[in-house]
């Protein structure tokens, strides 16, 4: 699938069907896309070091 911005007349790249459909579903919700990418990269549930010995789990 060709990923494009019709209002800008620009092609952004090539995506598989599922990724293109997901992009259309989320639209301009960039936070949702970032969370999805973090999940796929395995970073969604890694604890955050707050101070030595103290970790915070992401919400």
Q: Cβ-count burial of 55 within 10 angstroms (0-12 exposed, 13-18 middle, 19+ buried)? A: exposed
Give the number of other Cβ atoms within 10 Å of residue 7's Cβ. Answer: 6
Q: Between 59 and 56, whose confidence is greater?
A: 56
Domain-wise residue ranges, the chain: 2-56
pLDDT at residue number 47: 78
Q: How confident is the prediction for the chain on average, in pLDDT?
A: 78
pLDDT at 43 over 70: no
Burial of 26-43, coded b for 16+ CB within 10 Å and e otherwise, reads: eeeeeeeeeeeeeeeeee
């Amino acid at each position: 699938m060709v990923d494009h911005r019709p209002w800008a007349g620009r092609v952004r790249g090539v995506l598989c069907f599922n990724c293109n459909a997901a992009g259309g579903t989320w639209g301009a919700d960039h936070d949702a896309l970032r969370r999805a990418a973090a999940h796929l990269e395995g970073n969604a549930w890694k604890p955050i070091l707050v101070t030595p010995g103290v970790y915070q789990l992401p919400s």
